[in-house]
Amino acid sequence: MSAARTALLGLVSALSEAAEPAPVALEDGPAPATPPRSGVSLWPVALSRLGRSTRDGVLVDLELLARVAVSGPDALETTERLLLGLERDSRYVVEPLPPGSAAPAPLGFDVRVRVPVRLEQPTGPPVREPLRVDLRPARSIDGAVHDADGRGVPDAVVRAGVGGRPVVTDAEGRFRILVADAPSQEFVVEVRGMTRTLEAATQHTPVVIRWE
């Protein structure tokens, strides 16, 4: 059942409770040409779009406009009960009939009902293979860059891997850097505009990287 139909039947139920013992008839088409001898007639007039919201997922807010006509010897009393009953329910907004509208009964009014409809958003293709991410803990180590004679190389730029954060060696060629918790690490070292990728064991510190 559609959301609009559910809202319309809910309105019928609310009107029936308030109008008792007068009967309530739902007209599923244009306004009846002649009113029933006694009772309440209800029919949908319009269904319009109010907007779109994301209160709880994506919702399209529709509004149902229904018209109510009351006839019979107790029409005045029945209309009063209907108006008071709908006044107690925040789902409904009661309005007088618009100027120039023809009602098939001496008494009548319009009712507006908000109809929220959940909008199913398209999703991407299903993930056929699980995504695996290898997250290894990192640790900080001390190290040094030495030249072929064993002297420290100052102002060398050192990275742990290609995308690692760079650090710069001090005057003695020493540095401190984060590396993966593994027995060895590839270091990208840049000295005076020249770049090399060098591997060094990281089980024991300080780690010495040979620039030869």
Q: What is the DSSP string of 141-170?
A: EEEEEE-TTS-B-TT-EEEESTTSPPEE--
pLDDT tens for 180-197 read: 878 888 899 999 888 888
Contact assessment for residue 165 and residue 158, using Cβ atoms and an 8 Å cutoff? no
User: Is residue 13 scored above 70 in pLDDT?
Assistant: yes
Question: Three-state SS for 4?
Answer: helix
**Banded pLDDT at 38 (limits 50, 70, 90):** low
Share of the chain above pLDDT 90, in %: 34
User: Is residue 163 scored above 90 in pLDDT?
Assistant: no
- Could you tell me if 62 and 108 lie in one domain? yes
If one counts the domains in the chain, the total is 2
Residue 84 lies in a domain: yes
pLDDT mean over 15-27? 89
Question: Three-state SS for 111?
Answer: strand
- Could you tell me if 114 and 155 lie in one domain? no
User: Is residue 30 scored above 90 in pLDDT?
Assistant: no
User: Is residue 200 scored above 80 in pLDDT?
Assistant: yes
The parent domain of residue 13 ranges over 3-118
Residue 128 lies in a domain: no
pTM: 0.53
User: Is residue 6 scored above 60 in pLDDT?
Assistant: yes
Q: At which residue do the structure tokens 């742990």 appear?
A: 160
Residue 125 lies in a domain: no
Omega of the bond leading into 21 within 30 degrees of 0 (cis):
yes
- Could you tell me if 173 and 98 lie in one domain? no
Question: Three-state SS for 206?
Answer: coil
Share of the chain above pLDDT 70, in %: 83
- Could you tell me if 167 and 90 lie in one domain? no
User: Is residue 35 scored above 60 in pLDDT?
Assistant: no
Q: How far is CA 90 from each of CA 83, 84, 86, rounded to the nearest angstrom?
A: 12, 12, 8
CATH of the domain at 39: 3.30.2000
